[in-house]
Amino acid sequence: MDLELHHRPALVPETLDALDVQPGGRYIDATLGEGGHANAVLRAASPGGQLLGLDADPEAVSVARDRLSGFEQSFLAVNENFRDIRAIALQNSFVPVHGVIFDLGVSSLQLDVETRGFSFRRPDPLDMRFGLDQKTTAADIVNSYTEVELADLIYHLGEDRSARKLARAIVGARPVTTSGELAEIVKNALPRRRSRIHPATRTFQALRIAVNDELAAIESALEQAVSVLGQGGRLVAISYHSLEDRIVKNFMRRQSSECVCPPGTPICICSHRPTLKLIRRRAVVPTETEIKANPRSRSARLRAAERI
């Protein structure tokens, strides 16, 4: 496999800057993928830098290990979900660290190479599990949810206003067993319009998030990541849709606030103390040059904070 062909990590210089990577530093890549960000961090942290990489996808871990074989003494890859990041760091004596990075969402490897139904461009089995030890697949949801349940899922997790129409079409076409079938059902259910985004994108997003319980995992992992950072350590998260970005933004703002009392509370009664300091108020986005070279980076949003 040509690794460079499939993996183009987004916002690499911006990530290194936000992490403030230093020689000899220790870092955790919570979403290892094919090792694109990890490779850049390890190079910038040389000599003496170390990196612990996590990924729930065994195929991604295998590719990353091969790609980063030259860093054998300073790189450890673990086939685990980032929802257990604190326990994994402790098990590997990798606490405290100078930085943690999350590159959220589906990877190029999963879209272009793997055959688990992440892509709507091929007739792959409708699976969408990041880790094969998970029980529920996308096919289970598509073929067992009621029309109302499917509509709610597509509306809330896919942010698609055509959710009711799509749910009706999916239920009427059951059983649905491949990603290609599902993509065609969605495409035919919607009016034709010119867009660079495939009509099935939001439905696939909703199913992937539901199958992997992604939103709950992100919130939990961010809290754990702060606990493994040393003082002055950096937390960096790159998200690709508004649901992920909202979780990251709200978490960082909440952890950097002096007070978390409900709006309108006349006197602060909380015992909250900030654990983070925002690096920037606004999200960092790709340049036009990067988007042109890597179209999948167009929706990337990077947010960063420092442990205090």
The domain limits of the chain are 3-109+214-307, 118-212
> Which residues make Cβ contacts (< 8 Å) with residue 241, sequence separation at least 6?
105, 159, 205, 299
- pLDDT, residue 101, reads 98
The pLDDT confidence band at residue 100, using thresholds 50, 70 and 90, is: very high
Q: Say how far apart CA 270 and CA 274 lie, in whole Å.
A: 12
Cβ atoms of 170 and 176 closer than 8 Å: yes
Q: Residue holding tokens 């980063």?
A: 68
Q: Residue holding tokens 């959220």?
A: 104
Q: Say how far apart CA 276 and CA 308 lie, in whole Å.
A: 5
Q: Say which CATH topology domain 3-109+214-307 has.
A: Rossmann fold (3.40.50)
Helix spans in 103-191 (H): 108-112, 138-144, 147-158, 163-172, 179-189
Q: Say which CATH topology domain 118-212 has.
A: DNA polymerase; domain 1 (1.10.150)
Cβ atoms of 79 and 104 closer than 8 Å: no
- pLDDT, residue 302, reads 98
Q: Say how far apart CA 15 and CA 249 lie, in whole Å.
A: 16
Over residues 18-41, the pLDDT tens digits come to 999 999 999 999 999 999 999 999
Mean pLDDT of the 55-70 span: 94
Closest CA to 15 of 89, 86, 99: 99
Cβ atoms of 70 and 204 closer than 8 Å: no
Over residues 167-225, the pLDDT tens digits come to 999 999 999 999 999 999 999 999 877 777 889 999 999 999 999 999 999 999 999 99
- pLDDT, residue 6, reads 56
Mean pLDDT of the 234-256 span: 96
Strand order in the sheet with 97-103: 75-78, 50-54, 26-29, 97-103, 229-239, 301-307, 276-278
Sign of CA dihedral 224, 225, 230, 232: negative
Q: Say how far apart CA 229 and CA 24 lie, in whole Å.
A: 15
Mean pLDDT of the 141-149 span: 98
Residue 125's beta-bridge partner residues? 178
> Which residues make Cβ contacts (< 8 Å) with residue 149, sequence separation at least 6?
none
- pLDDT, residue 5, reads 42
Residue 54 has pLDDT above 90, yes or no: yes
Count CB neighbours of 209 within 10 A: 24
What's phi and psi for 139, nearest 5 deg?
Answer: -60, -40
- pLDDT, residue 7, reads 62
- pLDDT, residue 63, reads 94
Q: What is the Cβ-side half-sphere exposure of residue 168, based on CA atoms within 13 angstroms?
A: 7
Mean pLDDT score across all residues of the chain: 92
- pLDDT, residue 77, reads 98
- pLDDT, residue 276, reads 97
